[in-house]
Structure 1
Amino acid sequence: MVVYAGADPVTGRRSYLREKVDGTDKAAYRQAEKVLNKLLTKVNEQRAPSSSATLSYAIDEWLRTTELEDSTRNAYVGYIERVIKPTLGDMAVNKIGVRELENLYATLRRCRARCDGKPFIEKHNAEGEHDCVESQCEPHGCRPMAASTVRQIHSIISGILGAAVRWDWISSNPAKTAQRPRQKPPEPDPPSAADAARLVEAAFEISEDWGTLVWLVMTTGMRRAEVAGLRWSRVDLDAEIIEIRRTYVQSKGKGKEKDTKTHQMRRLALDSETVALLRAHKRWRADELAKVGVELTDDMFVFMSARTTDPTKLYSPDAISRRYKKMAARLKPPIKTHIHALRHFSATELLTAGIDLRTVAGRLGHGGGGATTLRVYAAWVAASDRKAAEVLGSRMPKRRL
């Protein structure tokens, strides 16, 4: 049974729906009538796959029409060029189903190079024609792709196929049904209180401005991009408040300011010690700039690059991470951590102290009314809940048993 479904919106070719009906008797004839009516209904309701455009074409159209942050776009293009186009790019979008997607995910979880399981030489270290030997050439060893990376690839494919549905190229998005790797539960590993004290002490030994930066991240839980993009105009030392409105991000060596991660402004109350440190830091920065004939203004960044007095040269997020990592590694004993762990420290200390979940989520800039905070810090929330139960129980009148 063949029914004309119109012209392909991409290729312009005539499109048909087909379904086979076996037999020549009356029962087969009645079945054919039912199939014909079903196909005609699909055409009329425009639910039939209407395009044979390849996934590569759909990807290019999706990238052209979708609004993405530069850093996000660059990351997506990397996954697309390395994985998605080489594996599924030549397939028509109306031929990609759940099985094709799940096969891809399973292959990537087994080997990121998508090998066929047969041994081969992955890297030749000798030039010209030669007989490969182990000392010269590296045999391939399967390395599974991380589940989080496969989930990211799934998200990209789902976005592309979702657009194809909106464009009436396909009738449904198979990525919504396909099983993706399970998400690994978050495992925050904040430094202990003793290690946190060592880190702060080491930071101030390096310089007062670096110590102030590390202190501020530790006490507020700010993201590195947020502290990098912080300007004096957003620091109200009299009201003891910081406003987080913008962040500073880098992509391919170029930096720019953008909205916060959740596209929301938030205000953070500061303790008196932090306010005193920021006042001292502001005076020191003003003195340093005055030495080169520059006046400190509210539009300047709070933290500037350690290698310059140019007020436009801020501390980039990557530079902050590198300096922090080197500092932590030089401690004896060394602390294997990254600066994001200070954000975990701030969150877990607040929860352990009994601060309510919504307040902690607000200080961290988590969306979802605390759902993200609860998911990431579930163990500390449970400990805080236990502490609350004990406090309440100790205040209840005692009963004789």
Structure 2
Amino acid sequence: MPGQDAESRKRGRIEKRGNSLRVRVYAGDDPVTGRRVYRNETVRGTDRAAEKRAQKVLTRLLAEVNAQRAPTSAVTLSYVLAEWLRTAELEDTTRRTYVGYIDRTIVPAIGDVAADRMTARTLERLYGELRRCRVRCDGRPFVEHRSADAEHDCGKAKCRPHVCRPMAASTVRQIHSIISAALSAALRWEWIASNPARVAQRPRQKAPEPDPPSAVDAARLLDAAFEMDDDWGTLVWLVMTTGIRRGEVCALRWRHVDLDGETIEIRRAYTLHKGVGVEKDTKTHQMRRIALDSETVALLREHRARVQARLAELGGPFSEQTYVFTSVRAPDHSKPYSPHAVSSRYKDMAERLGIDTHLHALRHYSATELLSAGVDLRTVAGRLGHGGGGATTLRVYAAWVAASDRKAAELLGSRLPKRQQTTE
């Protein structure tokens, strides 16, 4: 076509195809497949005006390629997800969770879509389907009993009808986070020109509804725990007064407890996967130090003495590496208490008392009691191990923060001098 210089003809050209012109620009080799990648755009018409428009398109495409704004790979989302998992730094438990979502939900639904063809509409349509039915049944009554036999009649075979179960909004948000992270990596690697997940709408996050036990129920729970045994009572007391997570209390070792300094350090968490326990970083990957009150220090001193006496009877050594809490199955304190066992034992105890609660509610109790007493938000966030400088704490315990703010206002008002009443 006229108007093209030698360099333009080498990297791009304008071709006549029927009643239109096709602009074709070489954009480099695909870094994954090694194939040549082209940017194509069609201009309607073949007259002189169409040629001028095509020339402008050619100039624009060449500029985009030069500026590396054009995608250089046509790999599928499945490939992007796999490569992202290979490079992402994730905790083992987090990685297993992500792989489960990818294999069960994301890849079967949109894994074959080219990454550079992914749109916000594609993602929002997937999220809508999942919020209606987690298996995306599309209204098919026997989706769970599909047969390879095309002549199979679920009605005659009396297959159990499928019942739609919507996926939780929080789970869909997690799936969105996985897709967004993978596409962000593809954007960094210059496989795509933009990340559609950044603008796609995801389900709204449900407002947290913490339900801590009342002060009366908390006292009953403590009394029942100490009646069961002193070790268990000390564990429940520590969780109630510090708000630490169950995995953190299970991973606690005596080297983390400074009785003279009246503090404990939260450095690790203990978790189970298919019955196998492993220690890992805390949820926020940060160590924190929590101050202890004198009563808690006294209880921990008594507990330490019991552990030392117990190990002496067994003929085993006591060391700073010894776990603070353990179950009766490990009297030598060589293994931590199972998080599941702690939750189960606490739940059984609460049910015997007729209290509808769970172990994590003690964390809520600690937070709400501190906020209600007027302790500042940042201090409470630090004790709980919340990230974001208190943003998470504020979001979860907004009602108690508001009540604390009202209490602060009344306190300040009571300290100000009273206005003199004037009479006319």
CA–CA distance in structure 2, aligned partners of residues 219 and 62 of structure 1: 41
Consecutive unaligned residues in structure 1, runs of 5 or more: none
What percentage of residue pairs aligned between the two structures are identical? 68
- Partner SS, residue 49 of structure 2: helix
The 5-angstrom pairing of residues 170-185 of structure 1 reads: 170-185=192-207
Pair 1:340 & 2:360 matched: yes
Per-residue CA deviations over 1:251-275 (Å, capped at 9, x if unaligned) read: 3332222222222222111111111
Alignment of 1:2-401 (within 5 A): 2-120=24-142, 122=144, 137-331=159-353, 333=354, 335-399=355-419, 400=421
Aligned equivalents of 1:120 and 1:236: distance in 2? Answer: 61
Deviation string, structure 1 residues 328-364 (Cα, Å, up to 9, x no partner): 1222x2x222211100000000000111111111111
- Contact map agreement 2:225 2:233 (CA 8 A) in 1: yes
5+ long unaligned stretches in structure 2: 1-22
Return the TM-score normalized by structure 2: 0.89
CA distance in 1, matches of 2:332, 2:123: 51
SS of aligned partner of 1:291: helix
- Cα deviation 1:229-280 (Å, max 9, x = unaligned): 1111111112211111222222333222222222222211111111111111
* Number of aligned residues: 395
Contact 2:270/2:279 (8 A) holds in 1: yes
Moved over 4 A (4+): 129-137
Q: Secondary structure at the match of 2:405?
A: helix
Larger mean CA deviation between 378-387 and 20-29 belongs to: 20-29
Give the letter for the 2:243 counterpart: G
Range that drifts further, 322-331 or 154-163:
322-331
Q: Please give the alpha-carbon distance, in whole angstroms, between the structure 2 residues aligned to 1:233 and 1:110.
A: 50
Give the distance between the partners of 1:133 and 1:395, measured in 2 at CA: 77
> Aligned letter for 2:409?
A
* Secondary structure of the structure 2 residue equivalent to 1:138: coil
Distance 2:329 2:156 in 1: 46
Are the aligned partners of 1:191 and 1:341 in contact in 2 as well (CA < 8 Å)?
yes
CA–CA distance in 1 between the matches of 2:132 and 2:114? 25
- Deviation of 1:134 (Å): 11
* Structure 2 SS opposite 1:5: strand
2:43 is paired with a residue whose SS is: coil
Instruction: Return the offset for 1:214.
Output: 0.5
CA distance in 2, matches of 1:231, 1:314: 9
Equivalent-residue separation in structure 1 for 2:338 and 2:56 (angstroms) = 66
